[in-house]
Structure 1
Amino acid sequence: MTRHFRLSEIDCLEIAGAEHRLLTSDRSGSIWSRLDDSSVCLSFTSDDFMRLLSRPDVRLKRGAFSDQSAFRRLRCDIDYVQTMPPEQRAKILWQATCARTFLEAEARGETNRSEQVVEKIIPILERRVNDIEESGQDVGRNPRAGQLFERRRFPSTRWLLQWVRMYEAGGHSPLVFLRKRRPDLSTRKLIAEAEAVLAECVVGYLDRNEPTQQQIVENVCDRFAKINRGRSTAGIAPLPVPSARTVRRRIKALDPFEVIAQRKGIDAARRKFGFYEDGLSADYPLQRIEMDEWQIDICSLLGESGALDGWPGEDRAKFEVGRRWIYVALDCATRCVLGFRIVSTPNADDAIRTLNLIIQDKTPIAEASGCQTSWDQCGGIGVLATDQGSAFAAEKFRMAVADLGATYEAPPAGVPKLRGRIERLFRTFGQQLAPMLIGRTFGNPVERGDYPSEQWAALTDDELAQILTLFIVDIYHNSPHAGLKGETPANAWKRLSAEQGVTPPPDANHRRAVFGIPLNRKLDRHGVRAFGINYTCSQLQEALLRGASGEIPIRVDPEDLTYISICLGHEWFSAEAVSHAVWGLCLSDWLEMVRELRTRFREEAVLSEQIIRDTRKKIFAIDARARQLRRVQPPHLTAEGLDREERQLFTGLRIGPEGSAATGDLERPNDRNRPKPDDLLGDVITPDAPPPQPMSGGASFGENIREVSDDGDEWTFDD
């Protein structure tokens, strides 16, 4: 299906360092004009644009030319929260929580922006913020007596309101709190005015240029000065000019929804007021996404993926039985499921992995599950709404949302109607999917009766993942939905994406920087090495020339080892794998290949890239389906586990021709000794070469082969 991306004139497309601004965009594609030379224009179809975003030198900066982005740039030059020191990062996320909690209370009518009123509700706001922060600190910990929770002193009324204004001006991004803003000490006052003329002047506040209240006060003064000069000439008594306080009071009396709609746009007004009035309406795909966790109403076998396949039922019953959890992300406008992930227990890492599925085309997962329809619903996130669970309140989750450029909202606990769509989806799972499966747990003990859920558990994680994918993609997406007035979610996505467009997903480098596995690697002459693969780019070379050394942060995409992202300063760049043999490989396949190669070629010191290609074909043929389903299942790689694998498996592994930059061995001494016994695969993997032929007399490779080392001494692999 041809995609229609929702692009805006305030978006910036950076190609090889050159910035471009959108001229036009429709269903056929988009046209971009170069900023420094408006005569240069580029056009892309939707498919071309998707391929463009995967390039390492392309960045799509959503809203880069908006007033909110301009405000953020005036305050800081950092684009990613995760590149900041942990203490500073935690503080600005806490400040964002304070501002967001106040805005929620204001939208419910519990307070306004009068300091006297806010002063009364400060203790309540402080308690709510502390609850959110403490739930985020509980992630990954078993509750125990004596555990410490970090609390921060709540701001004064004046500073809280200052933070709220900054938070709104910066587009609800925590980055606006990086530098202090000097307070406006202007206390100028003006005299009162007549009511009719004052009303005409106050209407000027409802303008997209967003004039300040002080500007309106000055406009009132100028207007009445002009009127009074005319009245003085005519011998008429001058009109009394209203005071500044009177003008501000009239401005505050304006309808709040109309003020936001006129000054910031209808979308901003709906984000602020909509969900307390009509349940967070959404007009186009990915404008608003609801995400939550749910314990599946099915008892299943808790085994590793694929470990129980082919086992008879009586043997399966001997394994541990329990209920899995699931994270689900739902698009509010179309009711399409944008991603799900089965987990053992709720945690922030798997919640972040579910975010990653939102921005990816999941058709390969659907094909691996045997679905008849595609699962191509994906794109950039607008507003993400969750509950106040500990996984969502965790610092790393909020940091990932902020770095994606999305707006994070956590409606108050105990009000499920504020997340009604995702709650209704879970009821659909329980009412329509669970009755079709064995091992159902039902909604409550009375309804369950004496049904032996644990004894009848039979589904593994593989089967559960496949069943959920089939139900979502083929059944739920293609069933009439009452919330869509009988339209199916799949058709609603097609219609709205064609009419309104879809926000494009982040570029490849941005996605790796946010969702990649975080590691630290040393920079040296060959660039950086991860899992035996050397990566390099022009920015790394320049950093080395300038004397940079030591370890630098990197991010690895476990689905593709072609590129990694490296952090220099506060900026992320793409670095390419030197060896083409690993291009397109996922990390789990590469780990499996290296294990097999170390076993098969234990007696060989040199391997060719053709061997790697042959092994790739075998692995792809074996587990192509399982590799896709693993993206939504509990087992996953961690940074600690990868560090351990690299120490044990990749020691000494290098890829590339002997004596090249790829090996990092540019100055090989002439008297280098022969490979040592522990250098399995250890020296190099060379380019393609003819496979070794059997020796005369039937001797196989590795038997009685004699080689001459650089110093002239003969040696064999038997040595």
Structure 2
Amino acid sequence: MTSRFRLSETDCITINGADHLLQSQDDKGVVLWRIDDSAVRLSFTHEQLVGLLASPDIRFKRDHFSCGRAALRLRCDHQYLNTLPADTREDLLWKAAYCNAFLDAETRGTVCRTIDSIRSAMPRLSALVDSRETEWQVLDRKNLAGVTVRRRLPPSAWTLRNWTRRFEACGLSPLAFLRKRRSVLTYTRKFAAEADALLAECIAGYLSRNKPTVQEIVRDTHSRFKEENRRRIGVGLPSFQIPSGRTIHRRIRKFDPFHVVAHREGIDAAKRKFSFYENGIPASYPLERIEMDEWQVDVASLFGNSGALDALESSDRARFEIGRRWIYVAIDCATRCIVAFRLVANPSAEGAVRALELIALDKTAIAQAAGCESPWDFWGGIGSLVTDQGSAFASVEFRTAVTDLGATYEAPPAGVPKLRSTIERIFGTFGQQLAPMLTGRTFSNPSERGDYPSEQWAALTDDELAEIFINFIVDIYHNSPHAGLKGETPANAWKRLKAEQGATPPPDSNTRRVVFGIPLTRKLGRHGVLVHGISYNSPELQRALLTGQAREIQIRVDPHDLTHISVCLHAHWHPAEAVSKAVWGLSLSEWRETVRDLRTKHRDDAVLTEDMVQRARNRIRAIDQGARELRRVQPPTLTAADLERCERELFLGLRIKPGADPSDEELPQVDGLLGDAIGDQPASPPHDESQTPKPRDAKPWKLSDD
């Protein structure tokens, strides 16, 4: 099936350092034009565009040329929240939480933008924000007695109104609060009828698809009035009194809200915003709106993976730890396709972020590993993400990831299920259609359960439970007629809408690593950056080394692909490529098994050839490809601590060096713990260590990653 992603006129794609804008798109592909040379046109099919976004030197910036993003760039130099210190991130998200709470209340009509109205609503807003902040601060804490919780004093009504204006002007991004800008004091005057006509013409510019801010309209209006006054003075006419910014603001507020949204965002956006909804907020194209939630599975299962338990009888397997797992599910509202699924031990911010990552990945390999017949190629970027107010979704880590992906985050108030009706219904589908097929069902309430021995009949392990869910989702649910789609199947709805309108483009590979990669810190040396025995380099790292800056740098590692890492230099993230091609395309688990296999078979060799690495990697990759894909949706997750421990146990001293001349008789000298180096020369023959004299200046082993 043709993969089509929906580009916007305000999106920016940087190719070879040059920015490009969308000129046109259809079901065959897209045409881009270069900003600094309008005569240059580039065309790509949708398949080529997908490959283009996966390239390490391509940048895709959603809404880069929109008014909100432009205003945001004037205020701060940061592109990602996770580049900032933790306390700064928390402060920005706290301010954003107040603004979102105020905007939600304003949408419901319980507050307006007068100081008295905001002041009267402040206790309710503060209670809501404090409740959410408390939830993420005590996340993963079982015993809450005596836990210290930090609470901040609420802003004043004036401050909150200023925050909200700045928040809206910068596209609802928390980064809008990084810098403050002093407002210009204005005053009100009365002016003539002719001036009133000119003023009406000026403020009509606010009803534009370019979405100018009120401040821009004020500046344009003042410029027009000054220009007109110079003309009138030249012909002997009295000048007009220049209207104040407050007068212009008041005139703009008199516009009909529906007309404002229709002119600035389109008629479809106006219908969505002002229409009544009982079946959830509608979406018109794939990935425009995604709802995500957590759910405790209505099945008692064994906590662990199959393998060692396979040979046991069901009665023997039931002696192991038994309980109910949780799942994270994300569903596309336009097509009802499930775009992310993850099985977790307990709700957590880490589990929610890992489920979020699956939205931007093609999950067909996971479906094939589970034995599905249909593809699971429903993936792309996120337009708006809607969750409940659970602690995992309220965490700093999750909100940071959503913000850095360029998505709009919504957390509707509790007790209004129709605002998230799509995700609520899918859990009902799981309980009604899937759970009855499984042994160990727990039922939704004790009266339905009766005397059914759920725990005694528990037999499914984590990987079996994940495989069952994936088969139900991909082969049954996606291919069954859906009442919300008027009888069309979710899979057909995705194909139709994606072919007609396109889907939201996924993040580029560098952004995906920055947002979802495992954070580590490394020293910069002449070899570049050394991670797991692999040297990474890039032009940016070379310049940083020459200038003597950034000796200790932050990096992000994608455990599923070690070809590139991302490095942070001067608050900007850049890709760095593995020097040795032997590790290109390998996952961390494959590389770990490759190193372990090589060290076991060639413990006495000082040099390992790249051919040997390639043969070992082929053997490892052929062993359990399916099992590795299924691990993406199961509870175990690699963390930064896991990677550090892995390096201490296995990768210390391992380094892949550039190839050497095979004719060299003398093997290269190698630093490190085990003296392992991977080059292009053949392995040295076995020798008798007892007859080899030991050097006098042999140095003790040292634990170093450089």
User: Counterparts of 2:632 and 2:16 in 1: how far apart (Å)?
Assistant: 32
**CA separation of 1:185 and 1:519: change in aligned 2, threshold 3 A:** same
Amino acid at match of 1:418: L
Structure 2 counterpart of 1:190: 190
Residue matched to 1:46: 46
> Counterparts of 1:51-200 in structure 2 under 5 Å?
51-190=51-190
CA apart distance, 1:644: 1.1
Aligned residue for 2:439?
438
Residue of structure 1 in register with 2:617 after alignment: 616
Show the counterpart of 1:24.
Answer: 24
Match of 2:704? none
After the TM superposition, which of the residue ranges 15-24 and 506-515 deviates more from structure 2? 15-24
* Residue matched to 1:695: none
Alignment correspondent of 2:499: 498
Asked whether the 8 Å contact 1:672–1:710 carries over to 2, the reply is no
Measure how far apart 1:4 and its partner are.
1.6
More deviation, 300-309/433-442 = 300-309
User: Where does residue 682 of structure 2 map in the other structure?
Assistant: 689
| Residues 373, 473 of structure 1: 8 Å contact kept | yes
Change beyond 3 A, Cα 1:585–1:571: same
Q: C-alpha displacement at 1:272, in angstroms? A: 5.4
User: Deviations along 1:2-51, whole A, 9 cap, x unmatched?
Assistant: 11221122111112222222222212111222222223222211111111
| Counterpart secondary structure, 2:561 | coil
* Residue identity in the other structure for 2:466: A
Contact 1:293 1:328 in 2 (8 A): yes
Are the structure 2 counterparts of residues 277 and 156 from structure 1 closer, same or farther at C-alpha, using a change threshold of 3 Å? farther
**Superposition map of 1:441-452 within 5 A:** 441-452=442-453
Q: Deviations over 1:345-402 (max 9, x none)?
A: 0001111111110011100001111111111011110100000100000001100000
* Residues 291-336 of structure 1, C-alpha deviations (whole Å, 9 max, x = no match): 0000001111001464534443233122100000000010011100
Q: Tell me, in whole angstroms, the C-alpha distance in 2 between the residues paired with 1:539 and 1:246.
A: 50
Note if contact 2:306-2:464 (Cα within 8 Å) is conserved in structure 1. no
SS in 1 for 2:385: strand
Structure 2 stretches of 5 or more lacking a match? 699-706
The answer to whether the aligner puts 1:409 opposite 2:402 as a matched pair is no
Pair 1:279-2:280 in alignment? yes
- 2:387, 2:358 → 1: CA distance? 16
Q: Residues 520-599 of structure 1 correspond to what in structure 2 (within 5 A)?
A: 520-599=521-600
How far apart in 2 are the matches of 1:449 and 1:46? Answer: 54
Q: How does 1:97-496 map to 2 (within 5 A)?
A: 97-190=97-190, 206-208=207-209, 210=212, 212=214, 251-266=252-267, 269=270, 279-304=280-305, 306-496=307-497
Instruction: Tell me the CA shift for residue 62 of structure 1.
Output: 1.2
Give TM-score scaled by structure 2 length.
0.90
Deviations 1:592-626 (A, max 9, x none): 22223333322222222222222222222221110
Letter in 2 for 1:687: D
Which shifted more, 172-181 or 210-219? Answer: 210-219
Cα distance in 2, alignment partners of residues 244 and 655 from structure 1:
64
In the alignment, what sits opposite 1:664? Answer: none
Equivalent residue, structure 1, for 2:509: 508
2:34–2:40 CA contact under 8 A, matched in 1: yes
Contact 1:15 1:59 in 2 (8 A): yes
- Specify every segment of 5 or more residues in structure 1 that has no aligned partner in the other structure, as ranges: 234-239, 661-669, 693-700, 714-719
Letter in 2 for 1:297: D
Matched residue of 1:38: which SS? strand
The answer as to whether partners of 1:198 and 1:247 remain within 8 angstroms in 2 is no
CA distance in 2: counterparts of 1:658 and 1:152, whole angstroms: 58
Which deviates further from its counterpart, 240-249 or 489-498? 240-249
Alpha carbons 1:19, 1:34 under 8 Å: kept: yes
The structural deviation recorded for 1:535 is: 0.7
Cα offsets for 1:411-460 (capped at 9, x unmatched): 00121111100000000000000001111011100011011000000111
What is the alpha-carbon distance in structure 2 between the residues aligned to residue 61 and residue 658 of structure 1?
A: 38
- SS of residue in 1 equivalent to 2:478: helix
The Cα offsets for residues 685-710 of structure 1, whole Å up to 9 and x where unpaired, read as: 22252785xxxxxxxx4557977999
Of 262-271 and 19-28, deviating more is 262-271
Aligned partners of 1:191 and 1:244 also within 8 Å: no
Aligned 8 A contact 2:2 2:499 in 1: no
Moved more, 248-257 or 158-167: 248-257
Q: In structure 2, do the counterparts of structure 1 residues 181 and 112 end up closer, same or farther at CA, with 3 Å as the change threshold?
A: same
Does structure 2 conserve the Cα–Cα contact (< 8 Å) formed by 1:658 and 1:684?
no
* AA in 2 matched with 1:96: A
Quickly say closer, same or farther: Cα 1:155–1:314, change in 2 above 3 A: same
Q: Alpha carbons of 1:310 and 1:40: their partners in 2 closer, same or farther (altered >3 Å)?
A: farther
1:125–1:671 distance in 2 versus 1, CA, 3 Å: same
Alpha-carbon shift at residue 184 of structure 1 (Å) = 3.0
1:462 alignment partner AA: D
Deviation at 1:573, TM superposition (A): 0.8
For residues 278 and 170 of structure 2, what CA distance do their matches in structure 1 show? 25
Q: Distance in 2 between matches of 1:32 and 1:245?
A: 41
> Once the 2 structures are TM-superposed, how far is the Cα of residue 141 of structure 1 from its aligned partner?
2.1
What residue is the counterpart of 1:633 in the other structure?
A: 634
Distance 1:315 1:616 in 2: 37
**Inter-partner Cα distance in structure 2 for 1:272 and 1:594:** 56
CA displacement 1:239-298 (0-9 Å, x = unmatched)? x99999887666534432332232344465467556877732111111100000000011
1:206 Cα offset (Å) = 3.5
Q: CA deviation at 1:220?
A: 12
> Secondary structure of 1:478's match?
coil
Would the alpha carbon gap of residues 151 and 597 (structure 1) be closer, same or farther in structure 2, given more than 3 Å must change?
same
Encode CA deviations 1:477-528: one digit per residue, 9 max, x unaligned.
1111111111111111111101111111111111001100111111111001
Structure 1 partner of 2:519: 518
Percent identity between the aligned chains? 56
* Letter aligned with residue 300 of structure 2: C
Aligned to 1:663: none
Work out the number of aligned pairs and report it.
685
- Flag the 1:22–1:198 CA change in 2: closer, same or farther, 3 A: closer
Distance in 2 of aligned mates of 1:247 and 1:544 = 53
Corresponding residue number in structure 1 for 2:37: 37
What secondary structure does 1:625 align onto? Answer: helix
Determine the C-alpha separation between the residues in 1 that align with 2:251 and 2:539.
58
Partner amino acid, structure 1, of 2:342: R
Tell me by how many angstroms 1:113 deviates. 1.1
